[in-house]
Amino acid sequence: MHAIALRRGARAPEVIETPRPEPDTDEVLVRTLRVGVDGTDHEVIAGHHGGFPAGDDHLVLGHEAVGVVEDPNGTAFKQGDIVVPTVRRPLPDGPTEYFERGEPDMSPPEDVIERGITGGHGFMSEYFTSSTEFLLPIPDELAEWGFLVEPISIAEKAIELARASRSAFDWQPESALVLGNGSLGLLTTAMLTESFDRVYCLGRRDRPDPTIDIIEELGATYVDSRETPVSEIPGVYEPMDFIFEATGYPKHAFESIEALAPNGVAALLGVPDEWTFEVDGGALHRELVMHNKALVGSVNSGYRHFEAAIETLSGLPEWLLDDLVTGIFDSSNVEEAFANDETTIKAAVKFYDNEER
Amino acid sequence: MHAIALRRGARAPEVIETPRPEPDTDEVLVRTLRVGVDGTDHEVIAGHHGGFPAGDDHLVLGHEAVGVVEDPNGTAFKQGDIVVPTVRRPLPDGPTEYFERGEPDMSPPEDVIERGITGGHGFMSEYFTSSTEFLLPIPDELAEWGFLVEPISIAEKAIELARASRSAFDWQPESALVLGNGSLGLLTTAMLTESFDRVYCLGRRDRPDPTIDIIEELGATYVDSRETPVSEIPGVYEPMDFIFEATGYPKHAFESIEALAPNGVAALLGVPDEWTFEVDGGALHRELVMHNKALVGSVNSGYRHFEAAIETLSGLPEWLLDDLVTGIFDSSNVEEAFANDETTIKAAVKFYDNEER
């Protein structure tokens, strides 16, 4: 079968031929429908993040997959079930404590495999196998968009952690700010408009721009970071009860403290490289304390966040998905699928069209 | 009656004469037993924090009080009840939303009076009045130590916020680090030994030292920050599931991120002045994210934290209170009560001895 992989030393993905996997006991063989491309893939390709499977000269990419069960292999799944896999797997001889708790997302990342990212092949191949414990069924009508379940689950987890951090008191948030107008930022903006009165999304794009169109169509407000730096947002717009950082720009983590309203929380999701800069650490510390503010970091997502994401995806309007997904590329068309220009919001690679069956 | 107050422009407290207050409707007249002295008082005296009541040339100090009801004034309290007041009060024409919710501690501090700190007279006077809603009865046997209820309540709130921030997942903390071996740090160390397997308390003192004796008597481990900076604690001791910052040293807020174990949380309580310094913001941001870490700021405390603190105080061993409270000074002895040397752990001013009645 063919697969899209990054070879050791390469700086671009390519199509390779690799054997079709055989399902082990309690594993299902899945025919891949679509796999999303995201910022993590670009970081893996650039060599900033992730790692190759031990002993292999390549890493099959892709961690945002939807597929159809080809061989249930005696499990409770049925042939034709539409399924989405989670990403983390135990290391061969690694600790399984967090998996046993049902919370592999809370494991230190160095103790797990992340399929398509670190130490294990991803889902960008015609077929993949997965243990049933890491596979969620989704409604048939979500087959086309199922590759969005994983990124939505990332937002579900971060929002859950942020809300939990405010659960000791009567938190009544109204305003939310999403930092970043990439696909995760836009999906999160859509999710937050359901529960916040006023939602803002920050980017650095000129109009006309399709991401700004989506932000405004959602009823949210576009904030241009070139005109209004994060720290000035409270003065120009309003202080924010909740901030969702999806830029990976570390100054945003610190500026968020100033942009929060009293009792607000910022969820951090970016994974920046080292960068030393000056901060007024005294003022930031004091501000966190005097206004009961919080910062929570969040990585990956667990089974229950995938379940919440399936629910969320079902409720997203069709126009949003159409506008957000700017390209579905054939698996032979690697270059275009991984293009990362201003016309791309979200791309996915198509391996198989379920309608063809 | 006499009171201990700071006059505008002065840099030391003094004894003044001031009229005995008359209780208003729903107010109780309390005869003051003891009032604790803490770091906030020293910051107010130094002019770094707080503010004078509008129109007054002085501020009666003290926010950690215990007293005995002298005149219940038709309320449900009875003469002789031992009571502890909370600290925050609404501004005369200010918002009351957070008071109505029972969570004045979550109000922006600029919207409230803090008795003895900002905008309202404190409790260091022979008598004070308080609305019943801001007064908690405590058991008679705690009369001597009741001035510790307020500082303990500060720790209760911060611990509550920290635990809440980890409530979305199965958090099983074992190790805790208290930054600061002042009275709040030592009280918190004692509290944490109840629920954490291993507790550490950081200071910068040479042995022999009474605070180190208390730390070790509690079964906790003393960490000398001159030998082991906060960021090196995971290597020398262990990564910490919970950090309680009570130093007001802003570099600790940032170094805590490195000292936390995966999924750990640091509660920040200090109120530092502005201070710009360099941080590796990229590495800190990444670390928060990749290991699901959190920082929560916490200020003041609410009614339920006072209730929890009364319970906690009842359970603290007598030897700890004896060793912690290094001086009970007559209200005429202002200079000694406010001395801030290495032999002082916790001092309190005595206005009246309930046993004398």
CATH superfamily for domain B153-297: NAD(P)-binding Rossmann-like Domain (3.40.50.720)
H or E segment to which residue B32 belongs: strand B27-37
Residue bearing tokens 């494991």: A107
Q: Which residues share a beta bridge with A179? A: A202, A245
Choose, out of B105, B167, B286, the residue to mutate when testing the contact with A (most A CBs < 10 Å). B286
Q: What is the pLDDT of residue A69?
A: 98
pLDDT in tens, B21-63: 999 999 999 999 999 999 999 999 999 888 999 999 999 999 9
CB spacing of A106 vs B165 below 8 angstroms: no
Q: What is the pLDDT of residue B228?
A: 98
Residue B163 CA, chain-centre distance (Å), reads 19
pLDDT in tens, A280-299: 999 999 999 999 999 999 99
Strand A175-179 to strand A198-203: parallel, antiparallel, or no bridges (unpaired)? parallel
Q: What is the pLDDT of residue B264?
A: 98
| Contact between residue B114 and residue B50 where contact means Cβ atoms under 8 Å apart | yes
Least-confidence region, from A201-215, A314-328, B152-166, B330-344: B330-344
Mean predicted confidence (pLDDT) in A317-343? 94
- How many residues would you count in chain B? 357
pLDDT tops 90 at residue B9: yes
Q: How many CB pairs under 8 A join A and B?
A: 191
- Of A161, A271, A294, which is closest to B290 when you measure between CB atoms? A271
pLDDT tops 60 at residue A357: no
Query: How close B215 comes to chain A (CA, Å)?
Result: 26
Query: How close A95 comes to chain B (CA, Å)?
Result: 14
pLDDT in tens, A10-57: 999 999 999 999 999 999 999 999 999 999 999 999 998 889 999 999
Nearest of A78, A49, A70, A77 to residue A61 by alpha carbon: A49
Looking at 3.40.1190.20, 3.90.180.10, 3.40.50.2300, 1.10.340.70, the CATH number of the domain B2-137+317-356 comes to 3.90.180.10
Least-confidence region, from A141-150, A262-271, B48-57, B254-263: B48-57
Looking at 3.40.50.720, 3.40.50.620, 3.40.50.1100, 3.40.1280.10, the CATH number of the domain A154-297 comes to 3.40.50.720
Considering chain B, what is the average pLDDT of its residues? 96
Q: What is the pLDDT of residue B354?
A: 77
Least-confidence region, from A110-114, A337-341, B141-145, B346-350: A337-341
Query: How close B8 comes to chain A (CA, Å)?
Result: 24
Considering chain A, what is the average pLDDT of its residues? 96
> Rounded distance, CA A257 to CA A312, Å?
28
Q: What is the pLDDT of residue B272?
A: 93
Nearest of A107, A99, A187 to residue A151 by alpha carbon: A187
Which residues of chain B lie closer than 8 angstroms to A247, CB-CB?
A: none
Mean predicted confidence (pLDDT) in B274-279? 97
Q: Model confidence at B2, in pLDDT bands (50, 70, 90)? A: very high
pLDDT tops 80 at residue A355: no
| Contact between residue A147 and residue A138 where contact means Cβ atoms under 8 Å apart | no
The two three-digit tokens of residue B25, written as one number: 């409707």
Least-confidence region, from A28-37, A131-140, A340-349: A340-349
Enter the ipTM: 0.97
Query: How close A311 comes to chain B (CA, Å)?
Result: 19
Q: What secondary structure, in 3-state letters, does chain A show? A: CEEEEEECCCCCCEEEECCCCCCCCCEEEEEEEEEEECHHHHHHHHCCCCECCCCCCEEECCCEEEEEEEECCCCCCCCCCEEEECCEEECCCCCCHHHHCCCHHHCCHHHEEEECCEEECCCCECEEEEEHHHEEECCHHHCCCHHHHHHHHHHHHHHHHHHHHCCCCCCCCCEEEEECCCHHHHHHHHHHCCCCCEEEEEECCCCCCHHHHHHHHCCCEEEECCCCCHHHHHHHCCCEEEEEECCCCHHHHHHHHHHEEEEEEEEECCCCCCCEEEEEHHHHHHHHHHCCCEEEECCCCCHHHHHHHHHHHHHCCHHHHHHHEEEEEECCCHHHHCCCCCCCCEEEEECCCHHHC
pLDDT tops 70 at residue A356: no
- Of A106, A254, A290, which is closest to B281 when you measure between CB atoms? A254
* B2-137+317-356 and B153-297: identical CATH topology: no
pLDDT in tens, B147-194: 999 999 999 999 999 999 999 999 999 999 999 999 999 999 999 999
Which residues of chain A lie closer than 8 angstroms to B289, CB-CB?
A: 268-271, 297-299
Phi first, then psi, for residue B53 (nearest 5°) are: -60, 140
Domain boundaries, chain B: 2-137+317-356, 153-297
The two three-digit tokens of residue B57, written as one number: 């040339």
Q: How many percent of chain B have pLDDT more than 70? A: 99
What is each CA distance from B60 to B15, B109, B120, in whole angstroms? 9, 19, 8
Q: How many percent of chain A have pLDDT more than 70? A: 99
Which residues of chain B lie closer than 8 angstroms to A163, CB-CB?
A: 168
Query: How close B169 comes to chain A (CA, Å)?
Result: 8
Q: What is the pLDDT of residue B103?
A: 97
CB spacing of A165 vs B169 below 8 angstroms: no
CB spacing of A275 vs B298 below 8 angstroms: no
Q: Model confidence at A320, in pLDDT bands (50, 70, 90)? A: very high
CB spacing of A253 vs B279 below 8 angstroms: no
Q: What is the pLDDT of residue A341?
A: 81
Mean predicted confidence (pLDDT) in B307-334? 97
- Of B270, B276, B298, which is closest to A292 when you measure between CB atoms? B298
pLDDT in tens, A115-127: 999 999 999 999 9
Query: How close A79 comes to chain B (CA, Å)?
Result: 34
pLDDT tops 80 at residue B101: yes
pLDDT tops 70 at residue B142: yes
Q: Model confidence at A342, in pLDDT bands (50, 70, 90)? A: confident
For residues A114, A118, A123 and A129, what is the CA-based torsion angle, rounded to 10 degrees? Answer: -60
Which residues of chain B lie closer than 8 angstroms to A254, CB-CB?
A: 281
Q: How many percent of chain B have pLDDT more than 90? A: 96
CB spacing of A278 vs B276 below 8 angstroms: yes
pTM over 0.95: yes
Q: What is the pLDDT of residue B48?
A: 86
CB spacing of B169 vs A287 below 8 angstroms: no
Q: What is the pLDDT of residue B356?
A: 65
